[in-house]
Amino acid sequence: MSITDIQMLFKFIGGLGMFLYGMDAMADGLQKSAGHKMQQLLGALTSNRLMGVLLGTGITAIIQSSSATTVMVVGFVNAGIMNLQQAVGIIMGANIGTTVTSWIVSMSEWGEMLKPEFFAPALVGVGAVFSLFSKNEKKKQIGEILVGFGVLFIGLGFMSASITPYRNAPIFGQAFSVLGRNPILGILAGLVVTGIIQSSSASVGILQTLALNGIVNWQSAIFITLGQNIGTCVTALLSSLGANRTAKRAAVIHLMFNVAGAVIFGIIMFILFQMNPVLASSRISSVEISVFHTVFNVTNTILLFPFAGLLVKASGIFVRGNEKEEASDSESEMKRHLDDRILETPSFAIENVNHEVVNMGYAALENFDVAADALLTSNLSEIKQVEKLEQKIDHYEKLLTDYLIKINNQSLNEEQHILVKNLFYTISDFERISDHCENLSELATEKANRNIIFSQEAESEMKEMLKAVRASLEHAIKARETSDMSEVRSVVQCEENVDSLEEELRERHIERLSTQSCKPENGVVFLDALSNLERISDHAHNIAGYVKEEI
């Protein structure tokens, strides 16, 4: 191998690296720009399978990877966020969405002005200026997209230039002739290459780069493309290894769908090439690969869409096991819901963790109810229940904080950074609320051990305070859950009511102590309880304040 050959090899490797990096950077920029729209897409998901297909197409077009979409679907199914009927539609749509990349790659054949060497440097230059010097978040995101787009095309240019000197080399003609004559070999070649680089978009891009140099024939390109569509399933299958049975079935559905399409089209195209040897051996262009890739995925979806239910049933044959999930307690459920696969798309991961933070809030509300009743009744069993709930909430805090740290390490836009920061604070506030509930249970223990009984007047006042604080906490949780400004305003009103009530009840109780109508030891428990309740309301007010910042 000569120095020139080594130089061309390095050029090809560098070009491939820039292509992959550009595709990733462009996808990051698109995700940041889509931001809240991605959450709305998830909200639009229903049992309507056609909606699932459209959703899968849209998500894959944004994140530029059907593998990433399918891995995310495996995560959603594993977390119980969606069922297999919904998943199958998204998987079908993901195959259509992945064709966008092939059309981007083939742009250089659309006209002279669309050749990478013509406009890619300008895109990188403009994008870099936006990313580095603009203070506007949207412009920074546009800059990221432009840089990614430009680097992608420069990488393609490098790959193409490195292959050009060898376009007439016999090895290429012989290799593609062998792959074309043997459909199985062609499909295996596409499958292996895609399985290794974990991206059908990238492997189709490499094939299109070879086609740009006129060294790929129709017959080999078609079978390699079919193999690439099967190879893209490898990522999801590997991802499903640590998932539950239903998630494994989602990955198998993806494989069955692509294998069925490859078999149908493989047979049709093999017969067509036997009937038309001239077409089989003629050179295929990058645009023609894009056309076939799109026709294959759209037609495959149309053909198999009516049989989606059968795919779901068939997946149960390949993945056997007990329908009953091993873990059913709420802690295990939360672990399952905080699935790392969903981190592939931060918008969805944030939406998911927000849901779990709300669940933590309701657990804190449950703890408050138990602690409040324990304080009034001195019930020892309820005091023990508060301790158990406090331990559970402490563990929730750790799980959610760890997951938020992972999300924070992803590529987020400014709006998402604010939301993640506020979720960190919200978790801390819910944990502090639970701590105050534990304080109330300790006061209940003291009340029981020392046989302290509140006077009728004091008990009535305590019930009034408990009711006001509970309302504040409940509205704060609903504000976090719904992002509804009316709930935020309700918390503000409740907090004002709690503050004035705490001051008023404290004065009344001090007056009772001064007239000796209440024992001093009773007064300490009562006043400490008021302080803890007022602090719970303060934390509820904090939570509502975070929501207000986001609206």
DSSP class per residue in 129-186: HHHHH---HHHHHHHHHHHHHHHHHHHHHHHHHHHGGGTT-HHHHHHHHHHHH-HHHH
pLDDT of 432 over the 90 cut: yes
DSSP one-letter code for 323? S
The dihedral sign for the CA sequence 365, 367, 370, 374: negative
pLDDT at position 369: 96
Residues 313-329 have pLDDT tens digits of: 999 998 876 544 444 45
pLDDT at position 376: 92
Residue 163 pLDDT grade (very low, low, confident, very high; cuts 50, 70, 90): low
For the ranges 362-376, 392-406, 445-459, which has the lowest average pLDDT?
445-459
With a threshold of 0.85, does the pTM exceed it? no
DSSP run (H or E) holding 366 = helix 346-377
Residues 177-198 have pLDDT tens digits of: 677 678 898 898 888 888 877 7
53: nearest Cα among 264, 303, 235: 303
Buried b / exposed e over 64-77, threshold 16 CB at 10 Å, is bbbbbbbbbbbbbb
Rounded distance between C-alpha atoms, residue 237 and residue 248, angstroms: 7
Average pLDDT, integer, range 220-237 = 89
The label of the residue with tokens 């603009």 reads 134
pLDDT at position 480: 96
For the ranges 7-16, 82-91, 139-148, 514-523, which has the lowest average pLDDT?
514-523
Collapsed DSSP state (helix, strand, coil) of residue 217: strand
Integer CA distances (angstroms), 321 to 34, 78, 318, in order: 39, 15, 10
Which of the pair, 390 or 102, is modelled with greater confidence?
390
Query: Which residues lie below 8 Å from residue 55, measured CB to CB, with a gap of 6+?
Result: 41, 44, 45, 89, 90, 93
pLDDT of 39 over the 60 cut: no
Contact of 188 with 228, CB cutoff 8 Å: no
Rounded distance between C-alpha atoms, residue 253 and residue 246, angstroms: 11
Rounded distance between C-alpha atoms, residue 199 and residue 210, angstroms: 17
Contact of 373 with 442, CB cutoff 8 Å: no
Q: Tell me how crowded residue 246 is: count the other CB atoms within 10 A of its CB.
A: 22
Contact of 129 with 176, CB cutoff 8 Å: no
Average pLDDT, integer, range 169-177 = 59
pLDDT at position 327: 45
Give me the chain's average pLDDT, please. 85
pLDDT at position 329: 53
Which of the pair, 180 or 498, is modelled with greater confidence?
498
Residue type, 535: R
Query: Which residues lie below 8 Å from residue 224, measured CB to CB, with a gap of 6+?
Result: 179, 186, 187, 189, 190, 207
Residues 107-125 have pLDDT tens digits of: 766 655 556 667 788 889 9
Contact of 225 with 204, CB cutoff 8 Å: yes
Q: Which two tokens stand for residue 365?
A: 């509300």
Rounded distance between C-alpha atoms, residue 141 and residue 526, angstroms: 55
| 114 alpha carbon, distance to own chain's centre | 34
Average pLDDT, integer, range 28-38 = 67
- H-type alpha helices, 164-285: 170-181, 183-197, 200-212, 218-231, 233-239, 245-275, 277-281
Integer CA distances (angstroms), 168 to 172, 173, 219, 436, in order: 8, 8, 18, 78
Average pLDDT, integer, range 363-378 = 94
pLDDT of 59 over the 50 cut: yes
Burial level of 530, CB count in 10 A (0-12/13-18/19+)? buried
pLDDT at position 325: 46
pLDDT at position 321: 63
Q: Which two tokens stand for residue 121?
A: 């440097």
pLDDT of 413 over the 60 cut: yes
Which of the pair, 343 or 521, is modelled with greater confidence?
343
pLDDT of 285 over the 70 cut: yes
N residues, the chain: 551
Average pLDDT, integer, range 496-516 = 87
For the ranges 135-139, 162-166, 322-326, which has the lowest average pLDDT?
322-326
Average pLDDT, integer, range 259-281 = 92
Rounded distance between C-alpha atoms, residue 214 and residue 284, angstroms: 7
pLDDT at position 145: 84
pLDDT at position 167: 58
pLDDT of 509 over the 50 cut: yes
| 250 alpha carbon, distance to own chain's centre | 16
Domains and CATH numbers, the chain: 3-318 (no CATH), 331-550 (1.20.58.220)
pLDDT at position 328: 47
pLDDT at position 38: 58
